[in-house]
Every structure is written in C-alpha cells, then in structure tokens.
Amino acid sequence: MQNLVACIKVERENYHPIIFAAMLHLKFVSIYPFIDGKNDYTRRLLL
C-alpha cells in the first residue's frame, strides 16, 4: 500500500484524471489488501 501511495504522488500529474483513476483502480485491485472480501467495497469507494 505504501508503494501505491508513493505511485499516486508521482504519477498523478502525468495522466488525464480518468486514465489515472483507471490505472489506480487496476493497481489497487491487484494488491488485494483485505482478506475478508472488503476489497470490493473499498475498490468501489476509491473510484
């Protein structure tokens, strides 16, 4: 998650907001930080 936050700070200005949101969504989903299935709810909230 720390790498994801660092990536957000660095790459935010390099992409169109919609493209950046899609990329962030894909990166977040690939991490699966929650074991109990809460990742789906958090993923939707993030978008």
Task: Give the 3-state secondary structure of 1-47.
Answer: CHHHHHHHHHHHHHCCHHHHHHHHHHHHHHHCCCCCCCHHHHHHHHC
45 has a pLDDT exceeding 80: no
Domain count across the chain: 1
pLDDT of residue 23: 87
pLDDT of residue 16: 92
**Residue 37 corresponds to which amino acid?**
G
Q: Which domain does 38 fall in, by range? A: 2-46
pLDDT above 70 covers what percent of the chain?
Answer: 72
CA dist 17 and 1 (Å) reads 20
Q: Can you give the pTM of this predicted structure?
A: 0.61
CA dist 42 and 30 (Å) reads 13
Average confidence (pLDDT) over 10-14: 87
